[in-house]
Amino acid sequence: MLNRLELVASNPVPFDPIPGALAAATSDPGALFEAGILAELRHIRANDPARFARLRADAKALRVPVGEFDRLTAPAADTAAQAAMFADVEPWPNPVNGADLLGEVCDALSRCLNAAIGGYRCGIA
């Protein structure tokens, strides 16, 4: 049978930097925004939503700007998916008269929208 010291040595508890960062946030507004802390917060956000919600509430109580907190802990954008969503656009080969184009857009909208006479123009012009 293992004694207590052998049991602790065989099952080490991983270091959690988040409580220390929360404690430091009372006097250091950037404590939660350190690179290592943000990486850990992103991991928690992706894998443990309940814990992340509690940490976010704690951060809010400490007056950490939660908008910035959310932005910095959000998952990285998938640029490959964004690139696939919007194909490369070929510019129109001929010059375009902006006034004529706007007139054509207004005419098209007037055929499709049910608005008082001229009412749709104020939304465009």
Q: Please report whether residue 63 resides in a domain.
A: yes
pLDDT at 15: 78
- What is the average pLDDT across 88-108? 85
Quick one: 23 and 63 in the same domain?
A: yes
Nearest alpha carbon to residue 56 among 14, 15, 18, 13: 18
Q: Domain range spanning residue 32? A: 4-78
Is 86 part of a structural domain of the chain? no
- Residue 39 domain flag: yes
Do 61 and 116 share a domain, yes or no?
no
**101 and 74 within one domain:** no
End-to-end CA distance of the chain, in Å? 83
Residues 70 and 111 in one domain: no
- Looking at the fold, whether 8 and 68 belong to one and the same domain comes out as yes
33-50 per-position pLDDT tens digit: 999 999 999 999 999 999
User: Could you read off the pLDDT of 45-85 as tens digits, one per residue?
Assistant: 999 999 999 999 999 999 999 999 999 999 877 666 666 67
Q: Are residues 33 and 70 in the same domain?
A: yes
Q: CA-to-CA distance for 80 and 33, rounded, in angstroms? A: 27
